Amino acid sequence: MAALPLSWSFTTTTTSAPFVTRPSRMLIDAKRSDRFQVSCEQNQTGSTRSDEISHGKFDRRNVLLGMGGLFSAANLVSASSTFATPLEAPDFTKCSKGTNLNTGQPLDVDCCPPVTTEIIDYKLPPVTKMRFRPAAHLATKEYVAKYEKAVELMKALPADDPRNFMQQANVHCAYCNLTYDQVGDSDLKIQVHNSWHFYPWHRWYLYFYERILGKLIDDPTFGLPFWNWDNPKGMVMPAMFVNTSSSLFNARRNQIHLPPAATDLAYFGTQSVDTTQIISNNLTVMYNEMVRNVQTLEDFYGAKYNTGTQPDPGPGTVERGSHTALHVWVGEATSTGEDMGNFYSAGREPLFFSHHTNVDRLWTIWRDLRGSKAKDFVDSDWLNASYLFYDENAQLVRVKVADTLDNIKMGYEFQKVDTPWLKSRPVARAKKSKIASTTAAPSVDSIFPVKLDKVVKVLVPRPKKSRSKKDKENEEELLVIEGIEVDTAIFVKFDVFVNDEDDDPNTLDKAEYAGCFSLVPHKNSILSKTKIRLGLSELLEDLDVEDDENILVSLVPKAGGDNVTIGGIKIIYSS
């Protein structure tokens, strides 16, 4: 393939992109403390959420209605869309490796993709043949041979072909290593992790990667294998990736974790428990991430992140837990964790794509589990968010989140396998514990902010107690750990326990384990301030302490605690 031009201007072919007026800078600049912030948060009924509205933060519709009568109630819907700020696809011409945003030092990695003179708005093609994604540990020899050949051909493409394996790896690097400016705000970067972009962006990424491979081997039914690490039968590195003569092999892996080592979904840099405990922990981790902690959309998808706001507003359960753990578990046992264990190089690891295919599968499973409940955000800021990818024909295309909500409409399906974590609801080690009333731990208003260089125990008041079944159906009780300040260049992880009396940080298969926060390291780093939300309603039922006025929360640093500061902890109620 001939080299693509390096200097050019975009010619955009638009088929269905809606007209959206860019909002005022005053309204979108979240970094200036002397200007108010506009909130567009709504609950599933369309009413404004009030669970986390703070001083100086107003709902956008209230602002519109109060602007001297400029906007009538009849114009509210159109006015609201005018002020929408969905994340826009970046300008590839402004991609630069630049300098580390945290240290100011030059970056030694260039993720910038090839450029072309035309972008088209992508439309999902009609599905004539469904692509089939098998479980990696169940794949046939014929399938493995086909997959190896496809990746071999991808690696053999010219270096400047955007479908080349390294160019595909650079796609992840560019979107995840703070390479692009937000459109219209050069002071802020694009980061598709740790927010509600995590699932849709990676779904599109896998979609085109899969289609490129299928075209190279002339097989329209080819689908990527998923690493079934949420099932004990798949909790080992898949054999197809371990053959040293295969195109799927990568030498930059932690050699201790080659088969038959059990994958650790709570990995923090070391494994100090036996295989039986790891598997039991894993099932509890999956239950928490897929059932207990995800009664609200934000808790599964991650926090809202639009143009004009800082990256890393808050990851969802799977992203900050099992997803991160396996990135680091696979990567080299070094401080930077290449390839899989660092965002900039993760796409260079063939196993990455099977790892994320399973994450994509879990998204489908979670939506199915919700049944008649609202399955996705209805916010235009999410649905109209856009990204750029190269398709199987090396055409640069613009895609939207709205087209990712049904994998069947995208033309692929997953092999059906058991989900044993659905039956792994953990039990309490100590029911009706009195530890919250007898502890000498400080209260929340006396210790924050606090550095997490040791275990931190704190007594957290519950604004509501003895809630009825209807109350719990209408509102989830959530533990919010906020103001989590970290240097994103460093792997960090801490676990959260509630009313935990045995204080064994490596035993997670108990109701007292509430969840975790962890972060895959970045090559290009920032000092990030983020938050997590952990579901309490079911946990407090299992502990039988729903009448208690306080709970004892333990924050247990597992990795990088010296690099973590916690700003505060509180309990809220959210529908």
If one counts the domains in the chain, the total is: 3
569 within a domain of the structure (yes/no) = yes
Is 197 noted as a catalytic residue in this protein? no
Give 72's pLDDT tier (boundaries 50, 70, 90). very low
Is 327 noted as a catalytic residue in this protein? yes
Task: Give the residue among 309, 311, 282 at the shortest CA–CA distance from 516.
Answer: 282
* 402 within 8 A of 380, measured Cβ to Cβ: no
Is 137 noted as a catalytic residue in this protein? no
87 within a domain of the structure (yes/no) = no
For 173-226, the DSSP string reads HHHHTT-SEETTEEEEE---SSSTTHHHHHHHHHHHHHHHHHHHTT-TTB-PPB
For residue 387, the SS3 value is: strand
* 248 within 8 A of 143, measured Cβ to Cβ: no
What residues are designated binding site for Cu cation? 172, 193, 202, 323, 327, 356
Note whether 189 and 67 are same-domain residues.
no
For residue 425, the SS3 value is: coil
* 237 within 8 A of 355, measured Cβ to Cβ: no
At residue 76, does pLDDT exceed 70?
no
Query: Domain containing 33: what range?
Result: 21-82
Note whether 402 and 455 are same-domain residues.
no
Is 356 noted as a catalytic residue in this protein? yes
263 within a domain of the structure (yes/no) = yes
Q: Which of 323, 377, 389, 522 is catalytic?
A: 323
Task: Report the share of the chain in percent with pLDDT over 90.
Answer: 70
Q: Which of 268, 356, 491, 497 is catalytic?
A: 356
From 395, 423, 451, the end of a domain falls on 423
Note whether 409 and 497 are same-domain residues.
no
What residues are designated binding site? 172, 193, 202, 323, 327, 356
8 within a domain of the structure (yes/no) = no
Note whether 128 and 234 are same-domain residues.
yes
Is 172 noted as a catalytic residue in this protein? yes
Span 364-371, mean pLDDT? Answer: 92
Note whether 225 and 175 are same-domain residues.
yes
Q: Which of 202, 257, 355, 522 is catalytic?
A: 202
Task: Report the share of the chain in percent with pLDDT over 70.
Answer: 85
Distance CA(217)–CA(223), nearest Å, equals: 12
Q: Which of 71, 83, 165, 193 is catalytic?
A: 193
Note whether 180 and 238 are same-domain residues.
yes
Note whether 481 and 531 are same-domain residues.
yes
At residue 214, does pLDDT exceed 60?
yes
pLDDT digits (tens, 9 = 90+) for 522-570: 888 888 899 999 999 999 999 999 999 999 999 999 999 999 999 999 9
At 100 the pLDDT is 77
* 65 within 8 A of 83, measured Cβ to Cβ: no
From 62, 82, 102, the end of a domain falls on 82
Note whether 309 and 233 are same-domain residues.
yes
Note whether 401 and 444 are same-domain residues.
no
Note whether 457 and 562 are same-domain residues.
yes
Whose structure tokens read 């826009």?
Answer: 88
Note whether 419 and 439 are same-domain residues.
no
Is 257 noted as a catalytic residue in this protein? no
Give 177's pLDDT tier (boundaries 50, 70, 90). confident
pLDDT digits (tens, 9 = 90+) for 154-163: 999 999 999 9
Torsion over CA: 214, 218, 221, 226 (sign): negative
At residue 18, does pLDDT exceed 90?
no
7 within a domain of the structure (yes/no) = no
Note whether 382 and 493 are same-domain residues.
no
Lowest mean pLDDT among 44-48, 223-227, 254-258, 312-316: 44-48
At residue 451, does pLDDT exceed 90?
yes
CATH of the domain at 125: 1.10.1280.10
* 485 within 8 A of 472, measured Cβ to Cβ: no
181 within a domain of the structure (yes/no) = yes
